[in-house]
Structure 1
């Protein structure tokens, strides 16, 4: 896991050296060496995502009403997003989000399955005020998984210690009290893409990890009244839905020779 406070990957223009481990025969390899190798490629991918593609929602992740009997909940559909620090956020299943709960972390599950923290099972907020909207946002989160027994040191008999053997890609959904500044204002113009302009500056590392999905307003009882998926959502331009055909002439083979035509 990266220790960089910015989370944009080490050596982003002004941060240290970019290096990876070099292995050789009879080398003593430590966990730090192996982790460095993973972080090298992860940070390289993060930089590519940030500088080449940007961040925001790529597709899906639409927020829709939940069960009419539970009007304080919404369903977040499947989707794919790029986080501000270059991490991919994969919503591979629909999840039911209780807006009375400030945050919930998830990596798997089904829509409207109760996600309860066993240590704080009743940690919910009061019904929201009708005059105060909320913004549903998501951020990337690593989750430790697959605990395994750790071998005792030397001749010790203590084999009860455990360590997590995997990092699982996950995400955290939260309710924000305001639309972040990074999501405000009009979208950039398309003119720089097709006309010559001055050399662009490299974008600064974002100051917050959130990708906003929707703005939600409530009625007098604190139940969901309106869901706005667009006013505070950043969309990433994707060429995946677009394709074209070539215009190579048709080649006719046979007879006295080969001919081409349109």
Structure 2
């Protein structure tokens, strides 16, 4: 069958550029040139159209090839009740390029009667003459037929034209003023020209193949003189039942029409980071318990109140938000510096649309970067959990315990100028460098103002505040005397390490809080004294009051 119209084919043949022959014509590559005062006739204007159309056809053939781009699906036709209609197939809307370079646009679904065939080379145009109507043909049940489509044109919109003559008998004539572009279907007995040729290799379009190296160039596309594009193979029964095979000989275009990209990053959700501080008290202790028992409801409620939340970082195909990630790295680094990291766990919300996709990949990559930069132990395998993760979809728990105690500082009062007391003997032994007797008296509590334990994160707050208050009272009650000094036990494992640096920092801050001037302080001394378990002893020196 041919769904066709009166044809006015403007250079739509199979030549290289659609010249109508299998060879180029020089005039096809000539375009009209307009100038002032030029006498322009129909041939000139039609020539401009012909030149442009042939140029577009040549472009399509050389750069895009031919075949089906999209749509044009074929299936047996059905009636309103869903029953097959004998001898009928239905073709969906779609787009193709013909071997001649013509565009074939089927803009709505159509039904084709497979008994109606093409008459002649170009088909029978439906005119007012009913004798030229398509004729139903017998179809052989054992034969394979081919449903094909081609580009077609129809002359439309007739108007009266004035004949440019001088005689009295010149009568107005009827001329068509428009050319409507369309399509025509047919059922072929054999494959058209071009379907037996090699469709070519994608490699030839993208790189230098051995054949290209050998020839020094690439061959031009072969000229296919048939305008038909096969959509499906058809087999029929004597009762009109149609079997459709769309894949056997359907040639597809290599098309990029469905593909594109945006430079803006695609949002993929966010990653929430929560601290699990083992050994904490209050609401944080509730969070720790809920996390350890997998009580996701309680975890959601506490996290929703901000308990333990370190921050959130947005995820996208461009990567995580740099500023938010930097801030989280600093906060997790602080945990590493002040507590004992024990592990990291990544929760993925089972209802998160990005789970298993780009969002999950971005979350895992962000977690790896975050923990690596902060020096935190790597996370365990992600766990899928039904938690209230939206809009983030991913939640990272960084767990840590109380930091290990690095040591402690004994703060001892030295009073210069006393007589006949244990405090006087303590000062005398200190001055004489009698470490053993100093140890003995301090062990009995002589001069003791307090002990401050410290970790990598700093001093125990309660011990620090109590000892600093006692030292402040002592300094305010006695006259100044230079010589306050820090002893560091030479056998202390923390000597020379970060523990000693932290001990010196805590001692300095304690003296600052107590109000001891800088000029009254001496540099630390390495002494072999009985400093266990503290390893550090701070002697705060003052003079006995003078009694007149």
Structure number with greater Rg is 2
Partner of 2:18: 9
- Note the 1:100-139 alignment, pairs <5 A: 100-103=115-118, 119-120=130-131, 123-139=134-150
Within the candidate set 210, 217, 229, 1:211 is matched to 229
Q: Distance in 2 between matches of 1:62 and 1:201?
A: 32
Q: Is the 8 A contact 2:11 2:18 kept in 1?
A: no
* Consecutive unaligned residues in structure 1, runs of 5 or more: 105-114, 253-261
The aligned runs of 1:132-147 (5 Å cut-off) are 132-147=143-158
5 Å-filtered alignment, 1:217-256, equals 217-221=235-239, 223-246=240-263
8 A contact 1:144–1:168 mirrored in 2: yes
How far off is 1:66 after superposition?
0.8
Cα pair 2:156 2:176 within 8 Å, conserved: yes
| Deviation sequence 1:198-242 (CA, Å, 0-9, x none) | 121111321211100111111242x13310111111100111212
1:32 aligns with 2:47: no
What is the alpha-carbon distance in structure 2 between the residues aligned to residue 211 and residue 227 of structure 1?
16
Structure whose residues are more often helix by fraction: 2
* Counterparts in 2 of 1:135 and 1:23: CA distance versus 1, 3 Å: same
Cα pair distance change 1:94/1:48, threshold 3 Å: same
Q: Check conservation: 2:71, 2:95, Cα contact below 8 A.
A: yes
Q: Contact 2:14–2:22 at 8 Å: present in 1 too?
A: no
Determine if the alignment matches structure 1 residue 150 to structure 2 residue 146. no
SS at structure 2 position matched to 1:51 = helix
Separation of aligned partners in 2, 1:193 and 1:5:
25
**Structure 1 residue 13: Cα displacement:** 8.0
User: Is 1:165 aligned to 2:182, yes or no?
Assistant: no
Q: Which residue of 2 aligns with 1:188?
A: 200
Give the one of 103, 108, 121 matched to 1:93: 108
Residues 12 and 47, structure 1, Cα contact 8 Å, conserved in 2 = no
Displacement of 1:123 in angstroms is 4.0
**Which stretch shifts more, 19-28 or 148-157?**
148-157
CA distance in 1, matches of 2:195, 2:37: 52
Superposition RMSD in Å: 3.1
Alpha-carbon deviation of 1:185?
6.5
- For residues 260 and 174 of structure 2, what CA distance do their matches in structure 1 show? 50
> Once the two structures are superposed, what CA deviation does each residue of 1:131-161 show, in whole Å capped at 9, x if it has no partner?
0121000111111111111224446466552
What displacement does 1:126 show? Answer: 3.9
Q: Give the corresponding residue for 1:112.
A: none
Distance 1:25 1:203, change over 3 A: same
Count how many residue pairs are aligned between Structure 1 and Structure 2.
243
Q: Which residue of 2 aligns with 1:71?
A: 86
Q: Which has the higher contact order (CA 8 A, sep 6+)?
A: 1
User: How far apart, CA to CA, are the structure 1 residues paired with 2:244 and 2:194?
Assistant: 20
Q: 1:14 Cα deviation (Å)?
A: 4.8
2:90 corresponds to 1:80: no
- Separation of aligned partners in 2, 1:135 and 1:46: 25
- Any unmatched runs of 5+ in structure 2? 1-8, 120-125, 266-317, 323-365, 367-548
Taking the aligned partners of 2:13 and 2:139, their CA distance within structure 1 comes to: 33
Distance 2:257 2:13 in 1: 32
Q: Give the alignment's TM-score, normalised by structure 2.
A: 0.40
Q: What is the rounded CA distance, in whole Å, between the counterparts of 2:135 and 2:264 in structure 1?
A: 60
The CA distance in 2 between the partners of 1:239 and 1:4, in whole Å, is 25
